Structure 1
Amino acid sequence: MNHPRDVGARKYFDSTYPDFASDLRNVRIGLCTDGFRTVSGKFGGQYSCWPVMICVYNLPPGLCMKDPYMLLTLILPGPDSPGKDINVYLSPLIDELKSL
């Protein structure tokens, strides 16, 4: 895969919603997250941190995954991973993106 536009899911989306795909002004974004655990404290207590980032896919392949075009939107801290409750944290972000 050289660019996210080469993925089969995008081709399926384009065929399902041709009106969206035909307008070049529509912004395509990817929402990605991955958690990591840090060891902190005197006794090695564990702490979980989940950054949530948005990548803009309308850019050329050389810019798509570069730092200036990846937006850090949320950081979900806590002792454990958000798991199934991640939608509670993401719903305000999704609402704001829909309004944009």
Structure 2
Amino acid sequence: MCHPSDAEAWKHFDRMYLDFAEELRNVQLGLCTDDFTPQGQYNRTYSCWPVIITPCNLPPSMCMSFEYIFLTMVIPSHSNLKCLIDVYLELLIEELLQLWHVGVRTYDHDTDRAFMMRAALM
């Protein structure tokens, strides 16, 4: 596999949601997060959790390039965040659900028309 779109899960998603897959301007997103300790590995009193979103349906040369990796939020933490991360991500999840169900009005420069772009978190 050289690109996420080559994966069987992506192909299965396209078969399940044909209306989403037929609109080529819709966006498939990837989300990742992990804790980071700014003071080093041994000082675990403070950590932060960067939450990163990237569009996965770009060409392989652009998919993970710096220009297309979006730092969505940074969650500061003085303790173990794993049990509370859903609270911090709640607003982001609401926006992602709106992008999935409703979409957002977006301008397409090529066709000189607006359309409803939807997004899916893969």
- Per the TM alignment, residue 76 of structure 1 is displaced from its structure 2 partner at its CA by 0.8
Whether 2:67 is the aligned partner of 1:92: answer no
Whether 2:107 is the aligned partner of 1:79: answer no
- Structure 1: tracts of 5 or more residues without a match: none
Q: For the residues of structure 1 that align with 2:55 and 2:14, how far apart are their CA atoms?
A: 17
- Name 1:9's counterpart in structure 2: 9
Cα RMSD over matched residues?
1.8
Deviations 1:12-49 (A, max 9, x none): 21111111111101111111111122437xxx562111
Q: Secondary structure in 2 aligned to 1:24? A: coil
Q: For the residues of structure 1 that align with 2:65 and 2:29, how far apart are their CA atoms?
A: 14
Q: For the residues of structure 1 that align with 2:55 and 2:90, how far apart are their CA atoms?
A: 19
Whether 2:1 is the aligned partner of 1:31: answer no
> Conserved in 1, the CA contact under 8 Å of 2:37 and 2:48?
yes
- Per the TM alignment, residue 62 of structure 1 is displaced from its structure 2 partner at its CA by 0.1
Aligned residue pairs total: 97
Q: Which amino acid aligns with 2:6?
A: D
> Conserved in 2, the CA contact under 8 Å of 1:50 and 1:81?
no
Q: Secondary structure in 2 aligned to 1:94? A: helix
Which has more helix, going by share of residues?
1
Give the TM-score normalised by structure 2: 0.70
Give identity over the alignment, percent. Answer: 48
> Conserved in 2, the CA contact under 8 Å of 1:35 and 1:81?
no
> Conserved in 1, the CA contact under 8 Å of 2:37 and 2:44?
no
Q: For the residues of structure 1 that align with 2:10 and 2:83, how far apart are their CA atoms?
A: 25
Structure scoring higher RCO (CA < 8 A, sep ≥ 6) equals: 2
- Name 2:108's counterpart in structure 1: none
